[in-house]
């Protein structure tokens, strides 16, 4: 697992995980306290936190409103996960119960995210009801959402109202000509659009959504899938554009492609970036804004620390059979956070 480091981002730009002259031990002392509080226990937004804090993805969103050439809809949303895996779709009530079950057994749990298996905001009622339930049942857990951004401007108010503080938007291009090679069509307000028209609309709504969330104090991370020969050299421009709209962090992920995945890019033999290309690209994007490089391209039903897979411990059957004591579980989470904070403060 690699990490955010000084070679890939600019500490002066406020990179999470790159320590400045501070004694906090969490590497975030250069950020305003309000931002630090939102970041210090989020395993994706803080490189340090991913060693200590766990996330849970509740797979409540099966539908999608976009076509991505790296996606096979039989699998999880490849904007936030890798192709070739399939998640079982939960109802909002099941997602709430699973959250309480995981939160009882993994006191390091700090974040619950919706990242598919389709797009969270193409299924707004299911996603928003899930957040509402979790907010009620376990208010100490951070709420996180990942989306392709097409429907985002329509739900900013509701997300803010529910206390969602972290949103990831996948932006693969800000040039519609490039965007159309990655996203050939979409559906908005029941109308299908294709080609350049679709790409223009997607980009406009993504940037509008990023800016609206940032203005409301939501920490926006932008994911981009690096596709050599298509958007590879364009991604530093994406960094600059999303940074100027208030995005906090850029997660540059490699295209994962295989003919067996049944995606368009897999069928035409489109390759992903080499390790050296990816490192170079992250360094180039890092001159514009902080870059994340510890992403694990998780499944839409991931459980545990990043890079850890504890899904099998929380099957639908086991979660349904568990006896849950939400209060005791909350105290254990508080104790785990206090202990970690004490350890950080004691770090030289």
Binding residues (CB under 6 A) for ligand CLF: these are: 44, 55, 57, 80, 111, 113, 115, 144, 146, 166, 168, 221, 251, 295-298, 306
**Which region holds residue 17: left if phi is over 0, alpha if psi is between -120 and 50, else beta?**
left
Contacted by 68, from ligand CLF, ligand SF4, none: CB < 5 to 8 Å by type: ligand SF4
Q: How far is the CB of 127 from ligand SF4 (least distance, A)?
A: 13
The residues, ordered by sequence, that sit 6+ positions from 37 with a Cβ below 8 Å of its Cβ are none
The bridge status of strand 191-194 relative to strand 185-188 is antiparallel
Contacted by 106, from ligand SF4, ligand CLF, none: CB < 5 to 8 Å by type: none
Q: How far is the CB of 298 from ligand CLF (least distance, A)?
A: 3
> For the sheet containing 142-147, what is the strand order?
291-292, 249-254, 219-226, 166-170, 142-147, 109-114, 54-57, 303-304
The residues, ordered by sequence, that sit 6+ positions from 77 with a Cβ below 8 Å of its Cβ are 64, 71, 115, 116, 117, 118, 119, 146, 148, 300
Contacted by 57, from ligand SF4, ligand CLF, none: CB < 5 to 8 Å by type: ligand CLF
Residues 43-78 as b or e (16 or more Cβ within 10 Å = b): bbbbbbbbbbbbbbbbbbbbebbbbbbbbbbebbbb
Q: How far is the CB of 116 from ligand SF4 (least distance, A)?
A: 6
Nearest to 272 by CA among 225, 233, 222: 225
Nearest to 240 by CA among 188, 288, 187: 288
Q: How far is the CB of 117 from ligand SF4 (least distance, A)?
A: 7
Residue closer to ligand SF4 by CB (options 49, 202) is 202
Q: How far is the CB of 225 from ligand SF4 (least distance, A)?
A: 9
Contacted by 310, from ligand SF4, ligand CLF, none: CB < 5 to 8 Å by type: none
Nearest to 292 by CA among 183, 207, 166, 155: 166
Residue closer to ligand SF4 by CB (options 186, 288) is 186
Q: How far is the CB of 77 from ligand SF4 (least distance, A)?
A: 3
- CB atoms closer than 10 angstroms to residue 325: 12
Which residues lie near ligand SF4 (CB under 6 A)? 64, 66-68, 71, 73, 77-79, 118-119, 148
Q: How far is the CB of 43 from ligand CLF (least distance, A)?
A: 7
Contacted by 298, from ligand CLF, ligand SF4, none: CB < 5 to 8 Å by type: ligand CLF
Q: How far is the CB of 81 from ligand SF4 (least distance, A)?
A: 8
Residue closer to ligand SF4 by CB (options 84, 118) is 118
Q: Which residue is nearest to ligand CLF (CB)?
A: 113
Would the CA dihedral through 37, 304, 58, 224 be positive or negative? positive
Residue closer to ligand CLF by CB (options 199, 251) is 251
Residue closer to ligand CLF by CB (options 24, 46) is 46
Contacted by 77, from ligand SF4, ligand CLF, none: CB < 5 to 8 Å by type: ligand SF4
The residues, ordered by sequence, that sit 6+ positions from 252 with a Cβ below 8 Å of its Cβ are 224, 226, 235, 278, 281, 282, 285, 291, 292, 293
Contacted by 8, from ligand SF4, ligand CLF, none: CB < 5 to 8 Å by type: none
Contacted by 47, from ligand CLF, ligand SF4, none: CB < 5 to 8 Å by type: none
* Dihedral angle over CA of 170, 253, 249, 30, nearest 10: 170
């Amino acid at each position: 697992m690699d990490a955010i480091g000084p070679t890939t981002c600019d500490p002066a730009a406020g990179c999470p995980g790159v320590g400045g002259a501070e004694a906090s031990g969490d590497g975030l002392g250069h950020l305003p306290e309000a931002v630090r509080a939102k970041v210090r226990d989020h395993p994706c937004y803080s490189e340090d936190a991913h060693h200590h804090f766990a996330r849970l993805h509740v797979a409540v969103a099966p539908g999608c409103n976009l076509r991505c050439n790296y996606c096979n809809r039989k699998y999880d949303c490849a904007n936030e996960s890798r192709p070739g895996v399939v998640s079982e779709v939960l109802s909002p009530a099941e997602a709430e119960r699973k959250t309480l079950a995981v939160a009882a057994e993994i006191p390091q749990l700090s974040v619950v995210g919706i990242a598919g298996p389709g797009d969270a905001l193409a299924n707004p009622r299911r996603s928003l009801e899930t957040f509402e339930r979790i907010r009620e049942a376990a208010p100490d857990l951070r709420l996180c959402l990942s989306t392709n951004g097409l429907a985002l401007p329509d739900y900013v108010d509701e997300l803010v109202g529910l206390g969602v503080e972290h949103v990831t938007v996948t932006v693969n291009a800000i040039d519609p000509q490039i965007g159309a090679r990655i996203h050939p069509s979409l559906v908005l307000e029941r109308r299908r659009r294709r080609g350049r028209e679709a790409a223009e609309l997607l980009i406009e709504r993504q940037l509008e959504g990023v800016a609206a969330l940032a203005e409301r104090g939501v920490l926006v991370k932008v994911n981009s899938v690096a596709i050599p020969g298509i958007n590879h050299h364009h991604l530093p421009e994406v960094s600059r554009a999303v940074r100027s709209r208030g995005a906090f962090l850029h997660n540059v992920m490699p295209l994962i492609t295989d003919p067996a995945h049944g995606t368009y890019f897999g069928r035409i033999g489109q390759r992903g970036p080499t390790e050296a290309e990816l490192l170079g690209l992250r360094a180039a994007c890092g001159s514009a804004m902080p870059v994340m490089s510890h992403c694990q391209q998780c499944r839409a039903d991931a459980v545990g620390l990043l890079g850890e897979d504890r899904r099998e411990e929380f099957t639908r059957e086991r979660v349904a059979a568990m006896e849950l004591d939400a209060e005791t579980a909350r105290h254990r989470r508080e104790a785990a956070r206090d202990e970690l904070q004490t350890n950080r403060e004691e770090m030289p």
